[in-house]
Structure 1
């Protein structure tokens, strides 16, 4: 469209575009056909498409939007090319999944691998940095799982689909609180270990810490209290 053809008061063009009014009925028909084809297509991709998506599945979903947008909105574009593209994407996704099933290295490349974010109550800060995940993102998820301090946990994994898997100790240990620092009421209810401190950066717990003591795990020098394995807050959480 040439710039001299654009007028701010041209409401017919703004609302309906340059296509004739009859095209609105065709849009409804095109949308119905594309919707039904997409339902079949997503069903053929498998049940995973309705769950937490992997990287390749996310790429497929974005591709679907790009494919169906053109024939649904542009009058001079037919539906058949879009269906051919959908079929190509289906074959590509099935082929990638087949290769990933046959070869572990291919699976790691196209779908990523599980990441260990916490081990024995201590954060794996190197892996968190590699995955570009902040402390608060991890703590927020742990709080949603009713975790109040890191000493409750033996492992936290970041799965390839982007969700967290949390495994607890049967007998919790002293650990770093995951409660927000501004929530003083709940933090005050947590019972503190008198002779232990927790590293603010990784959660490592050490004895006899001073202001200049370096964490044996990460080397940082910022410390706070370590939460006792069973606090009043935990008892209340378990009661609820």
Structure 2
């Protein structure tokens, strides 16, 4: 638009731009058709599209959003073109899933793989760094499963889709408390084991009389805290 064509208040330009009012009815029809087509395509893509998405599925979802916008809003773009692209995206997504099902390497590349974040009450620092996880994220996930300290956990997995899976220990042992440090009231309410202390970084246990001035044998951290039981 030219500079002299822009003035305020120009309500028609603000509300519908340069398109005529009649185009509003066309937008309604376009939106209904594209919406129904999108629902059908998502249904054919499978139940996974309603759950936590993998990397490849998220890429398809973003693509579908870009495809849907133009046929609904632009008067010079036909609806049929958007539907054809929808079908192409459908075959692409289903084809990738089938290929990944038959080839483990393709599955790892397109969908990722799980990693062990915690094993036998001790954090896997290397896995956390590789997955770009912080302790706060891990502890928050554990607290949602009513876990108070790391000794209650046998395994913690970060699934390929980004969800955490917790396997609780049948016989819990003392472990590093996972409550926020600023919640002193809750921290003070925990029963502590006087025999053991836990590394504040990874949760490795050591006898109390062996931790004075000694670094953690697992992560070299020199800070210890009384283990909860």
Deviations 1:77-98 (A, max 9, x none): 1111111111111111111101
**1:214 alignment partner in structure 2:** 215
Partner of 2:178, secondary structure, is: coil
In the alignment, what sits opposite 1:238? Answer: none
Q: Deviations over 1:117-154 (max 9, x none)?
A: 00000001111111111100110111011010000001
2:226 equivalent to 1:225: yes
In the alignment, structure 1 residue 126 sits paired with structure 2 residue 126: yes
Q: Contact 2:197/2:211 (CA < 8 Å) preserved in 1?
A: no
Q: How far 1:16 moved relative to its partner?
A: 1.1
1:37 equivalent in structure 2 = 37
Query: How much does 1:3 deviate?
Result: 4.0
Q: Within 2, Cα distance between the matches of 1:65 and 1:32?
A: 15
For residues 152 and 144 of structure 1, what CA distance do their matches in structure 2 show? Answer: 13
- Please state whether the residue corresponding to 1:146 is helix, strand or coil: coil
How far residue 72 of structure 1 moved from its aligned partner, in angstroms, is 0.7
1:68 is aligned to 68
Q: Distance in 2 between matches of 1:136 and 1:163?
A: 15
TM-score, normalised with respect to structure 1? 0.92
Q: Which stretch shows the higher mean deviation, 82-91 or 108-117?
A: 82-91
Match of 2:15 in 1: 15
Residue aligned with 1:118, SS: strand
1:176 counterpart = 2:183: no
Report the counterpart of residue 6 of structure 1 in structure 2: 6
Alpha-carbon distance change, 220 to 72 in structure 1, aligned in 2, over 3 angstroms: same
Q: Distance in 2 between matches of 1:22 and 1:45?
A: 35
Structure 2: where are the runs of 5+ without partners?
none
CA distance in 1, matches of 2:131, 2:5: 50
* Residue in structure 2 matched with residue 164 of structure 1 by the alignment: 164
Which residue pairs with 1:93 in the alignment?
93
The answer to whether the Cα contact below 8 Å between 1:197 and 1:209 also exists between their aligned partners in 2 is no
Q: CA RMSD in A?
A: 1.1
Q: Is the 8 A contact 1:199 1:222 kept in 2?
A: yes
Mean Cα deviation higher: 108-117 or 46-55: 46-55
1:121/1:151 contact within 8 Å kept: yes
CA distance in 2, matches of 1:24, 1:44: 30
**1:176-217 alpha-carbon deviations (Å, 9 max, x no partner):** 001111111111111111121111110111112445211111
Verify the 8 A CA contact 2:181 2:187 in the aligned structure 1: yes
CA contact (8 A) 1:196 1:209 kept: no
Q: Which runs of 4+ in 1 moved over 6 A?
A: none
Q: Could you tell me the TM-score, scaled by structure 2's length? A: 0.96
